[in-house]
Structure 1
Amino acid sequence: MVTLPQTRIEQIKKRFEMLEAQLHDEAFSGDYGRLAAEYAELKNIVALLQALESVRKEQADLAELLADNNEDSAMRAYAQAEVPQLAAEAEELEKRLQILLLPKDAADERNVLLEIRAGTGGSEAALFAGDLFRMYEHYAAAKGWKVELVSASEGEVGGYKEIIAAVAGRGAFARLKFESGVHRVQRVPETEGSGRIHTSAATVAVLPEAEEIDIEIRPEDIRIDTMRASGAGGQHVNTTDSAVRITHIPTGIMVVQAEKSQHQNRARAMQVLRSRLYDMERQQAESARSSERKSQVGSGDRSERIRTYNFPQGRVTDHRINLTLYRLDKVLEGELDEIIEPLITDHQTALLAEMGEGG
């Protein structure tokens, strides 16, 4: 039998009742949207709790009936047949509740800063970085998320040496956070006459978008340099010094923005810097929290090879969960849920095991 945290369940019930009362109070003047979202989340948990209580009552009634030796034999046989079915129902509800009661990642509902950089493989790596960006663009479109380009450095024959984009939408970080790491591609380049397969790589970093209240950046901790912007092939060259480079002195993190507006460059560079600092803090906190265990999924280790895209075989392999799909074309078109869902499930299983060890 699954063990559920009764104290937390009682807290959830009380919180749900309080939210329900507040949201139905015409005089309520608080943040309605935020409370409504929390209410909707808790409503799912409360509905499962009510279903579980109903099943447990049925189980108690059956146990009472079976304990009564004066009961009709046909009725006792019917009750006996119901016992395993109700037990399975209760176990399924308990498992679903256990998942919903797992500690939430505070960043899950945040927007995302998506960074993709070409790694080993030269021009082929830049082309692959472009493929990955389009894959995430298609996935975001399917989810109804908005993608806004922050900065891009194009490859010599296409693709990107580096591209950064903001992805805005409900639960964006929750679904994309397991994409951080090294993505490897195996394919025959168009320029390869002998048909030899080349291996290239690109690094993906998925950062939860930070707000000003999350990270305090003191003016004395940053150095801002402006310089003349110049793009590939002379594009976007401005007559004024519009490119902005911001260096965070304590960490050495450097962000460069080189679009047309210096004011916009400064704002976007600060946005990227803030998110990188916030992500660094999260990584350090996670590392300290899980120093005694190593969670492959969700570790966010940018140097870890997480996935291989093999074109000759039409195969995608996620090395963290030993998942292989022969649907490379569909995956690159943005059909990522077949990979992301098992990654989330694996992460939840690891959390449940960790809670079990802690309990």
Structure 2
Amino acid sequence: MFEKLKEIAVRYDALQTQLGDPSVYGDADRLRVVNQELKELSPVAEAFSAWEWADRRLRETEALLSDPELRAMAQEELPEARAEAERLEAALKPLLLPRDPDDGRNVVVEIRGGVGGEESALFAASLFRMYLMYAEKRGFSVDVVNENRTELGGVKEISFLVEGDGAWSRFKFESGVHRVQRVPETESAGRIHTSAATVAVLPEAQEVEFAIDPGDLQIDTFRASGAGGQHINKTESAIRITHLPTGTVVECQDERSQYKNRERAMKVLRSRLYEAELARRDADQAARRRSQVGSGDRSERIRTYNFPQSRVTDHRIGLTLYKLDSVMNGELDELIDALIAADTAERLRKQEK
């Protein structure tokens, strides 16, 4: 491990030196590559530097034990010096795990009402609001690609783009069945109902990475419409794109411009096909990404939102929080940080086997 860390430190210093070279600033592409690599190596290099300092302090303190005059002072400082060195060494290990290459990407999020009828559609709308507020707190932007609303304001299905540095790293564990337990707005007797909605999170694919043959596309235009079939657009600006080889269909009717709808629909199509390609390349990784989205059945849940008890439970890591109002208002960091920590611990365990 320490040999690898030394190599990273040497590379980091070399990149820092390159930034002082005037020729680098005259080459925009080279400067971008250098800055990107520095950004990736910086956390590891800085953590290694801090550990080296702590390790040096520990060894110097241990050396003082042989000095009769300084032994008492060294014995007093030794536990703290050892604890600090061990803490920083433990912090280094996760930094050496292979980085998810998609972590810096934008994401496409798709939410669908599952089992539970209108109540599941209303819950799907609540989940969209939750993610919208969370994205805003993180400084991400959100663009709705397509939505199918119900008469009561629920969501049968909705697709949206979340754009911002690290969006995938924060959203990737949200894929799965989300279960809700609450008294529906449509329930007059006050009985608690259980329903569910599914969430799928896909990394946005770049055009340069995944080429789509235009000849494989069937593109149809139609009039955008709202709940109950009421037309919200008198021109055929809505777009439906069908990828003929796979049968994948994407619709976008959020914008009044046919060009913008087509552009957004292509982003979603590209991401879906990219995800399918990743699935073929690495079934295990794809399974983790999808995180058991399943059929939308309540029993396949990854998380439960219990409104009467103001409780949210993530079943994958056994974490329960009694702050449901905050979570539904986009305060998701505690849940997501815990999921990231659990994933890191599991990958470390496998690496050490």
TM-score, normalised to structure 2, is 0.90
Amino acid at match of 1:9: L
Secondary structure in 2 matching 1:245: strand
Q: CA RMSD in A?
A: 2.2
- Alignment of structure 1 residues 215-234 onto 2, 5 Å: 215-232=210-227, 233-234=229-230
For residue 288 of structure 1, report the CA deviation from its aligned partner: 4.4
1:321 corresponds in structure 2 to: 317
Write out aligned runs for 1:69-148 (5 A).
71-72=67-68, 74-148=69-143
CA separation of 1:228/1:44 partners in 2, compared to 1, >3 Å: closer, same or farther?
closer
Q: Which residue of 1 aligns with 2:186?
A: 191
Cα distance between partner residues in 1 of 2:247 and 2:209: 19
**Other-structure match for 2:262:** 266
Identity of aligned residues (%): 50
Q: Shift of residue 65 of structure 1? A: 3.5
Report how far residue 355 of structure 1 moved: 0.7
CA distance in 2, matches of 1:112, 1:237: 28
Q: Tell me which residue corresponds to 2:158.
A: 163
The aligned residue for residue 337 of structure 1 is 333
How far apart in 1 are the matches of 2:326 and 2:311? 11
Paired residues, number: 343
Give 1:286 deviation, angstroms: 4.2
- Give yes or no for contact 1:13–1:46 (8 Å, CA) kept in 2: yes
- Deviations 1:121-147, CA, capped at 9 Å, x for gaps: 111111111111111111111111111
Partner residue, 2:201: 206
Q: CA deviation at 1:199?
A: 1.0
Can you give the 5+ residue segments of structure 2 that lack an aligned partner in the other structure?
Answer: 295-299
Q: Is the 8 A contact 1:177 1:300 kept in 2?
A: no
In structure 1, list runs of 5 or more residues that go unmatched: none
> For the Cα contact (< 8 Å) 1:184–1:202, is it kept in 2?
yes
| Residue equivalent to 1:302 | 293
CA distance, structure 2, for counterparts of residue 63 and residue 332 of structure 1: 52
Shift of the 58–310 alpha-carbon distance from structure 1 to 2, 3 Å rule, reads same
What is aligned with 1:52? 51
Q: TM-score normalised to the size of structure 1?
A: 0.88
Equivalent position amino acid for 2:41 in 1: L
1:307-353, Cα deviation, whole Å (9 max, x unpaired): 11111111101000111111011100111111111000000001101
Separation in structure 2 between the aligned mates of residue 167 and residue 350 of structure 1, nearest angstrom: 27
Structure 1 residues 124 and 347: CA distance shift in structure 2, 3 A:
same
Deviation, 1:264, is 2.5
Q: Partners of 2:235 and 2:59 in 1: how far apart? A: 81
Alignment CA distance shift 1:65-1:272 (3 Å):
same
Report what 2:34 is aligned to. Answer: 35
Secondary structure of 1:150 counterpart: strand
**1:173 alignment counterpart:** 168
